[in-house]
Structure 1
């Protein structure tokens, strides 16, 4: 396979065979982005890998993504996927080694976007409102559980099984990293778990988030992944309505509770290593990405204080 399309699709198939549908989806998206770029530059040419993995092409692809006004993290994702394909092709002897091939394009992660809620807003989100309509009240319970269960990701909350909750402790393997995580359930969280428990005997799930008798598929299957994606999109849509109904100043998404838990822990002087373990991160570097917006905010406040101090001194 000397063309990028065939090679990428073979990688996608391998990932799907290993039930890594999320990663496979990102590879597909990156391939489509590169195909759009290639069509504008070489409409009649096949995407030969020997022409792809050269510095000029990589840098031109980045400029194409910039011209399309993509968000910086999206641009970085596509370039990182292309880099991962290059490394795979290199290992398979399908590409030549080029020193620093991706050194001059952006493959980082933008960390200046603040996703955490202020403590007052998070407090309102945790106070389950009896006046909300049933659908939004259920959404608020799910969101509150994400925070109360130590910043649990929605992908893990939705897939908790009945057997994962024993003797006041939830023990589960993270969908993203495979790490084993155990969480002591507080009395408040236990009550919310009771309120949205899935009591159907034919459902394996602890909560009433994913079970659909008409379309049940085994955990890890393609159909289960697609069903989860539909549930996730619906959850995020309802969270926007919930933020408005509660009068919150910040935006809500499935990530907000997790980022808020991490930022609050950092703000209350919890060590970054402990936060990393609590969240089940693969490394402290991932945790630092969560916390960077908060650190930048502190630095900006410090900068304003320094400027104000100097101005006061000039009037003395």
Structure 2
């Protein structure tokens, strides 16, 4: 049943001055509700047959404008419900019309979110949002637009733009998952209506491709360890790779943040920066030798990546990003020289740690074969939940 919307002078309620409130009346499915317009009129100035103010009504034009605008809002919302074939009640119609939509632009919300993430020290996520923002401005020339303008056509054109720039499916996936996340945030904040959500049709999942395995053989690990480095940067790259491999596949950022406080009774104990998960692992003799090699009384950090100079979270993040790029470049050069079949990076050590243990017969409940984003957390949970003796015994298979 269609809804009807009209304006009535509500005679059932009389105010102190003898006037009656002007109300919007919505009827649907034999139910009716009244919504005040915030205006009251003396009965002699209201035409009850035509339901409108008489010619001699004070402020007639202004009152008529308010009536027209409000009835139009309800009529347009009814049409919108019909267009998307969505059922509704009188209450849900009123709620939809009365819920204010904040007219924030895409640019404004991006800037707000980036600022919020920085304040929470989630600098990597803030950087991901910033990269997407720059990319979208490059495509659209500006983002002084509303989220409702980012529709399926816009998304497909943006995808084509990125593909022309040579981005892989997985890189596209990161961009579009981030865009989907901020679009959901816009809906949550009532910046855009749910009905405009384009990701019901535009599926981000199509952009995901299984990442090529980034693990190498034990013989390749040995070749890297025994590589004769010709400079200190190459040597540091090898040592960082080796330490990660020996120490539960600890990632580069967590290595950079290690201090002597993370070494207790020859065990490595730290909270992963990414997941905040507490990790406890035995430090093998070769790993302890690497720590001793780089121990410096002038630096609180175990490895020469950070120093006391890097005081703020942003300074540390910038430094880690810069040094990681240098180390990964050295590792890639070394990998090519050793004919290793994949690009060598610090992350390969993480994958190799898990895979070598798996190939050595370690139960998959202790170590997962894959350390992708989704299974990485599961792996860390398993590493932490088993007895230390089980982990100690399992890690003997690394060498």
What's the TM-score once normalised by structure 2's chain length? Answer: 0.62
Who is 1:111 aligned against? 210
SS at match of 1:113: coil
SS at match of 1:147: helix
Structure 1 residues 245, 62: closer, same or farther in 2, change over 3 A?
closer
Query: How large is the RMSD of aligned CA atoms in angstroms?
Result: 2.7
CA contact (8 A) 2:260 2:302 kept: yes
CA contact (8 A) 1:146 1:257 kept: yes
Shift of 1:97: 1.1
Shift of 1:147: 0.3
CA contact (8 A) 1:150 1:278 kept: no
CA distance in 2, matches of 1:197, 1:188: 14
* Residue correspondence of structure 1 range 130-141 to structure 2 within 5 A: 132-141=230-239
CA contact (8 A) 1:59 1:105 kept: no
CA distance in 2, matches of 1:126, 1:109: 34
* Bigger-Rg structure (1/2): 2
Who is 2:351 aligned against? 259
Q: Say whether residues 1:227 and 2:319 are aligned partners.
A: yes
Q: Say whether residues 1:88 and 2:182 are aligned partners.
A: no
Shift of 1:101: 3.0
- Greater alpha carbon shift after TM alignment, 130-139 vs 176-185: 130-139
Structure 1 residues 194, 285: closer, same or farther in 2, change over 3 A?
closer
Who is 1:51 aligned against? 149
Structure 1: gaps spanning 5 or more residues: 289-316
* Alignment size in residue pairs: 275
Instruction: Select the structure with the greater relative contact order (CA < 8 A; seq sep ≥ 6).
Output: 1
SS at match of 2:194: coil
CA contact (8 A) 1:151 1:259 kept: yes
Shift of 1:164: 0.6
Q: Say whether residues 1:216 and 2:325 are aligned partners.
A: no
Shift of 1:175: 1.3
What does the per-residue CA deviation read over 1:262-291, in whole Å, with 9 as the maximum and x for residues that have no partner?
222333343444225997x88537679xxx
Structure 1 residues 36, 105: closer, same or farther in 2, change over 3 A?
farther
Q: Say whether residues 1:31 and 2:133 are aligned partners.
A: yes
What does the per-residue CA deviation read over 1:166-194, in whole Å, with 9 as the maximum and x for residues that have no partner?
11111111111111111100112111221
What does the per-residue CA deviation read over 1:221-270, in whole Å, with 9 as the maximum and x for residues that have no partner?
11111111111111112212332454544321121111112222333343
SS at match of 2:275: coil
Structure 1 residues 225, 174: closer, same or farther in 2, change over 3 A?
same
Structure 2: gaps spanning 5 or more residues: 1-102, 380-399
SS at match of 1:25: helix
CA distance in 1, matches of 2:373, 2:208: 16
Structure 1 residues 112, 20: closer, same or farther in 2, change over 3 A?
closer
Q: Say whether residues 1:156 and 2:254 are aligned partners.
A: yes
- Greater alpha carbon shift after TM alignment, 246-255 vs 151-160: 246-255
Structure 1 residues 267, 28: closer, same or farther in 2, change over 3 A?
same
CA contact (8 A) 1:272 1:287 kept: no
CA distance in 2, matches of 1:99, 1:284: 33
Structure 1 residues 16, 238: closer, same or farther in 2, change over 3 A?
same
Q: Say whether residues 1:124 and 2:223 are aligned partners.
A: yes
Who is 1:307 aligned against? none
* Residue number among 364, 375, 391 corresponding to 1:284 in the alignment: 375
CA distance in 1, matches of 2:197, 2:130: 25
CA distance in 2, matches of 1:142, 1:99: 48
What does the per-residue CA deviation read over 1:18-58, in whole Å, with 9 as the maximum and x for residues that have no partner?
1111100100111122222223xxx7x83221212x33322
* Residue number among 201, 207, 215 corresponding to 2:303 in the alignment: 207
* Residue number among 166, 185, 195 corresponding to 1:69 in the alignment: 166
Structure 1 residues 101, 275: closer, same or farther in 2, change over 3 A?
farther
Who is 1:301 aligned against? none
Structure 1 residues 265, 33: closer, same or farther in 2, change over 3 A?
same
